[in-house]
Structure 1
Amino acid sequence: MANAPIKVDPRTDQLITQTAHFLGTSKKDVVDVAVREYIENHREQIHRGVLDALGQLDGTTASSVRLLANLTPGELADIGGVDEPN
Structure 2
Amino acid sequence: MAATSAPIKVDVGTDQLISHAAHFLGKAKKDVVELAVREYIETHRSEINEGIRAALSQLDGSSASAIALLTDVPVDHLQEYGGMPSGH
| TM-score, scaled relative to structure 1 | 0.93
5+ residue gaps in structure 1?
none
Assess if the C-alpha contact under 8 Å between 1:20 and 1:30 holds in 2.
yes
Other structure's SS at 1:30 match: helix
Tell me how far apart the structure 1 counterparts of residues 87 and 29 of structure 2 sit (CA, whole Å).
Answer: 47
Identity across the alignment (%): 52
Matches within 5 A, 1:7-18: 7-18=9-20
Matches within 5 A, 1:17-32: 17-32=19-34
By relative contact order (CA 8 Å, sep 6+), the higher-ranking structure is 1
Q: CA deviation at 1:74?
A: 3.2
Residue by residue, what CA displacement relative to the aligned partner does 1:31-83 show, whole Å, maximum 9, x if unpaired? Answer: 00000000000000000000000000000000000101111123312111112
Measured on the aligned residues, the alpha-carbon RMSD in Å equals 1.3
| TM-score, scaled relative to structure 2 | 0.91
Aligned pairs, how many?
86
Q: CA deviation at 1:84?
A: 5.1
Other structure's SS at 1:8 match: coil
5+ residue gaps in structure 2?
none
